[in-house]
Amino acid sequence: MITPLKKHCQWIEPSIVAKHLINSFGESGFIWLDGDGSENGRWVTLGVEPDEQICSRGLPGKENASNPFTLLRNLKPGHWTGWLSYEAGAWLEPKNSWKEDEMATLWMASHDPIFKFDLHKKILWLEGCNQKRFNSFLKWLNNLSSNKFANNDRNINKQRINIPIDKWQWITQLDEYQKNVEAIKKLIEQGDIFQANLSACCKAKAPSPILATDLYLQLKAKCPSPFSGILVGAGESLGEAIISTSPERFLKVLPCGAVESRPIKGTRPRDKNPLIDANLAADLICSPKDRAENIMIVDLLRNDLGKVCQAGSINVNQLVGLESYSQVHHLTSVIQGKLKPNKTWVDLLEASWPGGSITGAPKLRACQRLYELEPIARGPYCGSFININWDGQVDSNILIRSLIIKDSCIRVHAGCGIVADSNANNESEELKWKLMPLLKSIV
């Protein structure tokens, strides 16, 4: 545990600080862990110019590949932020087949100082341990506070990014996706698996050199969410970035060992008409299929947590609760536990990876079947943003509703949970509910 220097500063909106940080220091290595102002989306963290980075690529047996979980175990104390990709599962279950992605499997960066915002109380702190850098950034922030012109959001330069819907190339066409749904239903009928989260992907070329932050601001305006943000790689991950509007927490671990997971299963679109919107929410709550799918994943995650948590400590504090966001309604459950004294957050991560809500049940068999049906690697999609605070608290999301950027290519994935009574047409419609708000935000 580290106790950083901490300075209460004049309030400035996070988006304004973010844009001026990039204008002053560049986007490479920039982190922005954002929120929507809800209870779960209360805190915002910004950082630039990381003082240390680690990066892992490749699958086991590949030249120069390294185990991302070993790197995470060996992190120095400090404030770390980064991503872990879905295919990190290859280091835990090498007997399963895994595809290799262009993006880094793991990228983590240490930032000192960081900017911390409380959206509820409108409080901004600067936190850090390096006295020289702390003083330098404090001076920078005070100059920004005194510049009334710079403090106006309307005066921030924003590049509007436009990618027409017809410019997106579908890696999996909707008719092929429906066939894959039927293939999974047949596997379920045969007793091979019980559930699988089948995904599809589309990609497009950025129209010109872009700032990932401009893209995020467009997406944030349409799809605010509690576990959102942007990470821009540097060093070995230069040219890579992830933009997320995820509503789903994967794992949170407090320094005392308390654990929380918030799996999402079950989705309906929102509607501008309040009556139709309420009917959609009611339909989701009353759906036996969606409820069964959610409960199945709760059982899976209880089992994962049970590998490293104290006996009797695991409780389901919310089972199949309705949570509504700007574009969709979701069913969310909340599972809590307490780590065994000899276990760490990395032990929990290994016991739970990849997340049950985006794989299926049984998990490893579902991963195998998804490998056979999905044409490309998921990469950071269905992986996590991971944030480690000064005191050792760890929080992470599930990287859904996200844009993956590699040089000039932008990639978007979405998935649906398939169970025995899934309807292929309905699942492809749900896929569009999840994808279209992302694509339309940059038209």
Q: How many Å separate Cα 255 from the centre of its chain? A: 22
The 10s digit of each residue's pLDDT in 275-321 is 999 999 999 999 999 999 999 999 999 999 999 999 999 999 999 99
Q: Is the separation of the CB atoms in 305 and 352 below 8 Å? A: yes
Contacts of 237 (CB under 8 A, 6+ apart): 53, 55, 103, 104, 107
Structure token pair of residue 32 = 């922005």
The whole-chain average pLDDT of the chain stands at 94
The 10s digit of each residue's pLDDT in 13-44 is 999 999 999 999 999 999 999 999 999 999 99
Give the residue numbers spanning the domain of 66: 5-151+160-440
Give the number of domains in the chain. 1
Residue 1: exposure state from Cβ atoms within 10 A (0-12, 13-18, ≥19):
exposed
Residue 156 pLDDT > 90: no
The confidence score (pLDDT) of residue 149 equals 62
428 to each of 269, 270, 423, how far by Cα in Å? 13, 17, 9
The confidence score (pLDDT) of residue 160 equals 82
The residues that are catalytic are: 248, 265
Q: Which residues on neighbouring strands pair with residue 229, listed in sequence order? A: 33, 244
Residue tagged 């959610």 (tokens): 294
Contacts of 6 (CB under 8 A, 6+ apart): 125, 126, 127
The 10s digit of each residue's pLDDT in 41-93 is 999 999 999 999 999 999 999 999 999 999 999 999 999 999 999 999 999 99
Strands, E, within 103-160: which ranges?
A: 106-110, 114-118, 123-128
Q: Per-residue pLDDT averaged across 132-139, rounded?
A: 97
> What's the CATH number where 80 sits?
3.60.120.10
Rounded CA separation 220/401 (Å) = 11
